């Protein structure tokens, strides 16, 4: 099997899993308990938060552990966008896009900035949408369908220059552990997820500026400094910490390896069959292409039958029955090409030989499908 849907989820890192296993079978106590074993786990989790934070932020940030990136996005949107208007983009992950539309149903004005052809936001347009009533701006860091990178630090500074009271949030799920950056002082909230970098599904986090006061998203026993109640998933948090430390220790090498994979895939794909959607300067972890006149979903299933796993866009949007990706259409892509979208996403564990073989198979599948339709 050749797995090329790493933007949807990655395989849990075996080394990290073995190291964190003790928190399932030995140190399984409740970290909120008063006995020594529970308190020691509390200290262990405190250290884990510190280590995850240090990957991209300084001590001016806190970390709120969540169940996933979607919960972190929802926490930011519903606690930050409580008045006036909210500004976001047409290229957001469904966790932000759907939350924004729910805010609209609750009476909050929501403004959507258009995209460039590669899936990045039109920076001039989004700044124009900000005014003295804007309570929150949310801009995805790396577009999960095209890999386009938005300079969130620069956008956040422009937003604050126009309205210093506006909160700035970014969905960083496809950026954390993949591209090098540090959070700027103008970024208030930032969402990440463990299972995109070798951690376990069921663990995410919201980076929050310490000076920012927001309401809890889940009420109960007061965990996560009162912002997200519920007994902590110690195993998942420790896996997240270990996976993050491992990834950031080799992030430059991983980036270089994945760049080679991306380049090998694009070099081998038949340019007469595929149109590149992803930008050349985007995240190398995602290569999105379109096969004009061929259904991407059909190619996905035929490739799966041959042992090659790929995507057609955001896995979290697979339950949406609409035929075309709203993000891809927002890039200005016509429907024939949008129908043939394939998202190929890489891991440092992949090899050049794997992606080259996969590209050759995709070439043949699309050619055969076009011959049948001719």
- DSSP assignment of 32-60 equals T-SSHHHHHHHHHHHHHHHHHHHTT--TT
Spell out the residues 6+ positions from residue 7 whose beta carbon is closer than 8 angstroms to its own.
Answer: 144, 174, 196, 285, 286, 311, 315, 343, 345
Taking the CA of residue 240 as centre, how many other CA atoms within 13 Å lie in the half-sphere pointing to its CB?
A: 33
Q: Please, which residues bridge with residue 142 across strands?
A: 149
Q: Comparing C-alpha atoms, which of 25, 95, 349, 28 is closest to residue 197?
A: 349
Q: What is the CA radius of gyration of the chain?
A: 21
Which residues, including other chains, have CB under 8 Å from residue 367's CB and lie 6 or more apart? 270, 273
Q: Across-strand partners of 63? A: 207
Strand partners of residue 345: 5, 286
For residue 316, indicate whether it is catalytic. yes
- Catalytic one of 68, 186, 316, 331: 316
**Residue 205 φ/ψ region, left for φ over 0, alpha for ψ in the -120 to 50 degree band, beta for the rest:** beta
**Contact, 327 vs 314, CB < 8 A?**
yes
196 DSSP 8-state letter = G
Residues annotated as catalytic are 316
């Amino acid at each position: 099997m050749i797995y090329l849907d790493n933007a949807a989820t990655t395989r849990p890192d075996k080394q990290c899993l073995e190291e964190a296993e003790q928190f399932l079978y030995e140190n399984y106590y409740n970290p909120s308990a008063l006995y020594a074993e529970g308190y020691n786990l509390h200290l262990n989790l405190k250290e884990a938060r510190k280590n995850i934070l240090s990957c991209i932020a300084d001590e001016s940030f806190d970390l709120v552990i969540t169940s996933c990136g979607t919960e972190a996005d929802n926490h930011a949107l519903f606690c930050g966008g409580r008045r006036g208007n909210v500004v976001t983009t047409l290229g957001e992950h469904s966790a932000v896009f759907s939350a924004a539309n729910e805010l609209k149903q609750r009476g909050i004005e929501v403004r959507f900035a258009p995209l460039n052809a590669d899936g990045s936001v039109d920076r001039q347009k989004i700044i124009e949408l900000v005014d003295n009533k804007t309570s929150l701006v949310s801009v995805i860091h790396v577009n999960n369908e095209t890999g386009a990178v938005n300079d969130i630090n620069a956008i956040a500074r422009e937003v604050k220059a126009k309205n210093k009271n506006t909160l700035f949030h970014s969905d960083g799920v496809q950026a954390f552990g993949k591209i090098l950056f540090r959070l700027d002082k103008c970024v208030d909230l930032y969402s990440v997820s463990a299972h995109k970098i070798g951690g376990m599904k069921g663990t995410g986090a919201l980076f929050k500026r310490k000076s920012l006061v927001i309401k809890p998203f889940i009420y109960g026993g007061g965990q996560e400094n009162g912002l997200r109640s519920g007994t902590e998933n110690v195993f998942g948090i420790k896996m997240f910490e270990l996976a993050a430390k491992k990834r950031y220790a080799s992030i430059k090498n991983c980036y270089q390896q994945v760049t080679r994979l991306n380049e090998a895939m694009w070099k081998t794909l038949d340019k007469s069959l595929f149109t590149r959607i992803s930008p050349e300067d985007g995240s190398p972890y995602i290569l999105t292409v379109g096969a004009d006149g061929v259904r991407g979903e059909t190619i996905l299933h035929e490739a799966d039958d041959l042992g090659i796993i790929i995507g057609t866009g955001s896995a979290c949007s697979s339950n949406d029955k609409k035929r075309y990706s709203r993000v891809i259409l927002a890039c200005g892509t016509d429907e024939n090409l949008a129908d043939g979208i394939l998202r190929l996403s890489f891991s440092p564990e992949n090899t050049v030989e794997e992606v080259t073989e996969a590209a050759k198979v995709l070439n043949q599948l699309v050619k055969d499908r076009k011959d049948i339709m001719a």
